[in-house]
Structure 1
Amino acid sequence: MEKFTLELLFQIIGIGSASGIIYKDNSLFIVGDNSGFLYEYHINSQNLNRHPLIENPSENIIKKDKPDFEALTCFQDSIYAFGSGSTSKRNTMVEFDWTQKKKIASDNLADLYTKMQNFASIKPEDFNIEGVIHDGENWYFLNRGNGISNKNTLFSFHAKKLNQEFNMRSNDYELPKINGIVSSFTDAVKLDNSIYFLATAEDTQSTYDDGEVLGSIIGRINLETMKIDFTQKISDSHKFEGLTVFKNDNNKIEFLLCEDKDTEILETAIYKLSLNIK
């Protein structure tokens, strides 16, 4: 068991259903799964800026129409926001230059998502990308196994850009149960030669419909063996969907987490998770 502490750090008014988070230069970049904006929150000044990711963006987009941005990743000056792929309207990837504060590209990933589904034998109704990592040379996509088949799958491939040719591989994982419900990937971040991931247990067998939240865990995948080397339950009640590194030293890693409360209330709680690493 890894030693950890979890504390509420602060709350941000103006963001709802937070699903992805990145910490850069004492600011947080956040997406909400029912919003068309990338939010930029300056921690010192507490100022909140909104950057459009889609045409005619709004907050609290109705469920059947929302782009469902569930994952954020960054490399150098680019932040990438990804739709979950759980419906045909949720296949968008947006590239945002965080230094120039503007959207620079938008792509439809329907072909890539279909390739993933076929490669890993995931039915469209069980496909739900909730974590993406890009380190400049490799891409990692995490499918949340909250559908009937519980397919928690990590896709990985070597490519600088998503439109390049690449060889894909996938690994399926059995994640711990919480109160009898299998937990499923909700976000991840790469640190050294490991992927740290969040997973949540939610009493539903649908990638579309929400269910009762039963808690969240953190875990780590060794990228050499592609095996999970630890998991640790961190909450009995929170649905953590965003993970970013805050501070890192030899003995302790501090992460910032955001929570999706599945409501229309525009308020987001940011938590700090301190994890002692032996």
Structure 2
Amino acid sequence: MQRSILTLCISALFSGVVSAQAFTLEFSNRTTIQDFPSASGVVVEQSKIYAVGDDSPWFHQLNPDFSIADKALINDYPVGDNGRIIKKVKPDFEALDVVSVHDQPAFVMLGSGSKLDVREWAIVISKDRETKIERSLKPLYKTLRQAAGYSADQEINIEGLASSEDAAFIINRGNGGSNVIFEIDLDDFQDYLEGDDELLQDVKAYHVNLPVVEGFEAGLSGAEYWKDTKSLVVTASIEATGDAYNDGEILGSFVGVVPLNDLSTSRTIDLTDNLVSLMENNQRVITKVESVAFTSEDSQKVSGVLASDNDDGTSEFFNFTLSK
């Protein structure tokens, strides 16, 4: 199987099959894109793949082979000679989903919140590109800290966004505080993005325990709603770092499933034995999976795309299928 080399896109093709509990993960078409830095969020909308990078000023549309089909400037951020947004001012867009805003489907990008003011912004771009909203997340992130019970020295580090029929789920990576899945009424979240509300009163916080590798706990990095099973498919990765600002050595990545019923019955979710590690030849695949999106789903399996940021100015993408 071969790939065309487009826009300096280099494909390394392999496949793997690994299992955990009742799920099997198959992945293939590991593809490195040289001129798309730091992939952090991916979504599939009407069979088209869209992605953002945490220090890229561009909103990318990808072809099925993960070559770049198109890109649009998000904002005129200052960039270095390498084309990446300068770290001290980067908005750090880590979460991406499609949410109805002003009754129109829109791409919603959330900053991580790991640096006050600079990384506390949302960008909302309507699918028809006619509307663009820049929304401060400072009040929302203050509410999230309170809901999680964080102390003054614990940091928000938002990495994922997913939405069900009636709720938005905001995913926090636990290398500054703890791994948390936040649940917000979807209508309230939409009102906040539209500027109709400044405060969200009813935010639920579910703390999540994840596997530990070489003394470092995995951190949640993305999520997508699996409608047919009323579950979240979550991604997690492990970096050898103890804070939300600096990168560390990449130690591997995981995919797992969280039934929404588990969220409703407990405020602490234990996934230490329920995640599937990306493995090849009995070795962890050294990639930092940041996001997940679906191309197809039914009650038995879901297929789609995994996006990775490997902290070297490039991005990696995989095809995957997770099945019962």
Deviation at 1:109, TM superposition (A): 0.5
| Counterpart amino acid of residue 256 in structure 2 | G
Tell me by how many angstroms 1:50 deviates.
1.9
CA apart distance, 1:228: 5.5
Structure 1 residues without counterparts, runs of 5 or longer: none
Query: CA offsets, 1:97-131, max 9 Å, x none?
Result: 22x23552110111110111122122465210001
Task: Give the deviation of 1:42 after TM superposition.
Answer: 3.3
Q: Which amino acid aligns with 2:241?
A: T
Higher radius of gyration, 1 or 2: 2
Q: Does 1:130 align with 2:159?
A: yes
Q: Which amino acid aligns with 1:211?
A: G
Percentage identity across paired residues of the two chains: 24
CA contact (8 A) 2:31 2:66 kept: no
- 1:153 maps to which residue? 180
- Among 108, 111, 120, the residue aligned to 1:83: 111
Contact 1:26/1:44 (8 A) holds in 2: no
Q: Where in structure 2 are the equivalents of 1:37-186 lying within 5 Å? A: 37-43=58-64, 46-56=67-77, 58=79, 59-75=83-99, 77-88=105-116, 89-98=118-127, 100-122=128-150, 123=152, 125-135=154-164, 137-147=166-176, 149=177, 151-160=178-187, 161-163=190-192, 164=197, 165-186=200-221
Write the distance in 2 (CA, Å) between the matches of 1:56 and 1:30. 17
Q: Which of 201-210 and 9-18 deviates more?
A: 9-18
Q: Deviations 1:136-159 (Å, cap 9, x if unpaired)?
A: 532111110012x4x001111213
| 1:243 maps to amino acid | V
Q: Give the superposed CA RMSD.
A: 2.2
Corresponding residue number in structure 1 for 2:303: 254
How far is 1:135 from its partner? 3.4
The correspondence for 2:236, drawn from 175, 199, 207, is: 199
1:25–1:144 distance in 2 versus 1, CA, 3 Å: same
8 Å CA contact 1:217–1:231 kept in 2: the answer is yes
CA distance in 1, matches of 2:180, 2:115: 18
TM-score by length of 2: 0.77
Shift of 1:30: 0.5
Structure with bigger helix share is 2
- 2: CA distance, partners of 1:18 / 1:45: 12
Find the aligned partners of 1:241 and 1:36 in 2 and give their Cα distance: 18
Aligned to 1:225: 262
Unpaired segments ≥5 residues, structure 2: 1-19, 264-268
**Number of residues paired by the alignment?**
272
Work out the CA distance in 2 between the residues paired with 1:36 and 1:219.
30
Offset of 1:18 from its aligned partner?
A: 0.2
Report if aligned partners of 1:97, 1:104 keep a CA contact under 8 Å in 2.
yes
Does structure 2 conserve the Cα–Cα contact (< 8 Å) formed by 1:86 and 1:125? no
1:29 maps to a residue whose letter is: Y
